[in-house]
Chain A
Amino acid sequence: MPEKPAYSSAEEPQLVEWAKAGDMQAFEELVARYRDRIYVRAYSIMRNEDIAVDLSQNAWVKAWQRLEQFHGEASFATWLSRIVTNLCLDELRRQKRARMDSIEAMEETTGPVENRMEMETVDPIEGLSREELRERIDAALAKLSDKHRTVIVLYEFEQFEYKEIAEKMGTSIGTVMSRLFYARKRMAGLLKETLKRDGLIE
């Protein structure tokens, strides 16, 4: 009788092969390994725990259905990350944020108000741990609109190119560039504000 595979110590490609063959336990092991990472990506975009949990779940279900399409060009986690990102973008399209939409509509037709502001300098801060910096960046991200946060997440975290972001967001490369520029200026401004407020810079 063949030995039961040791899922927890199996390499990812082996787990994927087993899962492709219909082994749910192998897939469960993949879920256990990457569930936090997929949740983080969903949360970074959606900024809502419940929605992020739901979208993460849906992403895993879709991944199971599409396993045959995964051929190892990217890592399994990257492939899965793309699935949850697409689900988040679909969800954002469905949601209506009237308040932010009206501000963005103004920005995109007349030019961002913040264009008058300069891009702030944000230098590496000694004494600020990487963890603390991440928390501040996360807090600043939460203050961006959906569209601006999405473009930052897709570029900086998901590492898409402009063209890919444009396709996913259903817009032009020029608009992606504008949004990214504005988002970076806003992030720099917000970070500088919090660092000044905490006396870490003058």
Chain B
Amino acid sequence: MTFSLHSLMSRFTVLVALLLLVSGGFVAAQADSITVQARLVHGTSKEQKGKMEVSAAIKKKLARVFKWMHYYQLNSTQLNIADATTKTTKLSKTASIKVTNRKNGRIAVSLYSKGKMLVQKTQTLRPGSYMVLAGNTGTDSAWFIVLSKSK
């Protein structure tokens, strides 16, 4: 069996083209999807043994603004969201968030409490930065929903 140089080259070209097509599609899919980490955090000055504190990086940022001595992570979830898609996650008994991937790193986060939407925030979320929705709990502590983009 013999192969001409021409046929080898054309097969090679086809294979390379296919490879580029597949990998390009793969890369495109990766660029369009986004991974968001959402954490429910409880800010309080009362020590709560057995509860896990939020990461040092997040604590440092929150502590720069707020007064609490402890920031306990009550819940954490990772959402992998394709372009123009929405994912929902329940963070507490009554609170849930819907996160929509709006392309180019922009996300829209809607906070629901007991099924009712309270607020929606849309922004570009860069790696290393945080979006925080927060409020008082009414018992001298605060709740925080801390969102960040996973690398």
Task: Find out whether A and B make contact in their complex, taking CB atoms under 8 A apart as touching.
Answer: yes
Residues of A at the B interface (CB closer than 8 Å) are 49-50
**Closest CB pairs A-B (n = 4):** A50-B136, A50-B140, A49-B67, A49-B140
Chain B 54-65, CB-CB to A under 8 Å as 1, else 0, gives 000000000000
Interface of A is mostly: helix
Residue of B nearest to A53 (CB): B67
A residues near B67, Cβ cutoff 8 Å:
49
Q: How many A-B residue pairs have CB under 8 A?
A: 4
Q: Chain B: residues with CB nearer than 8 A to chain A?
A: 67, 136, 140
Quote the shortest CB–CB distance from B139 to chain A (angstroms).
10
The answer for the CA separation of A49 and B67 in the assembled complex, in Å, is 10
B44 CB, min distance to chain A CBs, angstroms: 13
Determine the residue in chain A with the shortest Cβ distance to B67: A49
Q: Which residues of B contact A49 (CB under 8 A)?
A: 67, 140
- Bound Cα distance from A49 to B43, whole angstroms: 14
Give the distance to chain A from B43, nearest Cβ to Cβ, in Å: 12
- Min Cβ gap A54→B in Å is 10
A202 to chain B, nearest CB (A): 37
Q: Whose C-beta in chain A lies nearest to the C-beta of B136? A: A50
| Minimum distance in angstroms from A53 CB to a CB of chain B | 9
Nearest chain A residue, comparing its CB with the CB of B142: A50
Q: Which residues of A contact B140 (CB under 8 A)?
A: 49-50
List residues of chain B with CB within 8 A of the CB of A50.
136, 140
Nearest-CB residue, chain A, relative to B141: A50
Bound state CA distance, A50 and B67, in angstroms?
10
Q: Which residue of B lies closest to A50 (CB)?
A: B136
In Å, the complex CA distance between A50 and B139 comes to: 10
Q: Closest CB of chain B to A154's CB: distance in Å?
A: 26
* Closest partner residue, chain A, to B138 (CB atom): A50
Chain B nearest CB from A96 CB (Å) reads 17
Please give me the residue from chain B that is nearest to A54 by CB atom. B136
Distance, CA A21 to CA B111, complexed state (A): 40
Q: Name the distance in Å between A3's Cβ and chain B's nearest Cβ.
A: 32
CB distance from A95 to the nearest CB of B (A): 15
A50 to B136 Cα, complex, angstroms: 9
Contacts of B136 in A (CB 8 A): 50
State the Cβ distance, B7 to closest chain A Cβ, in Å.
75
Q: Nearest Cβ in chain B — how far from A58, in angstroms?
A: 16
CB distance from A59 to the nearest CB of B (A): 19
* A48 to B, closest residue via Cβ: B140
Minimum Cβ distance to chain A for residue B56 (Å): 25
Q: Give the shortest distance, in Å, between B42 (CB) and chain A (any CB).
A: 16
A to B CB contacts below 8 Å, 4 in the list = A49-B67, A49-B140, A50-B136, A50-B140
In whole angstroms, how far apart are the Cα atoms of A50 and B45 in the complex?
13
Least CB distance from B134 to A in Å reads 13
Q: How far is the CB of B65 from chain A (nearest CB, A)?
A: 13
How far apart are the CA atoms of A49 and B69 in the complex, in Å?
Answer: 14
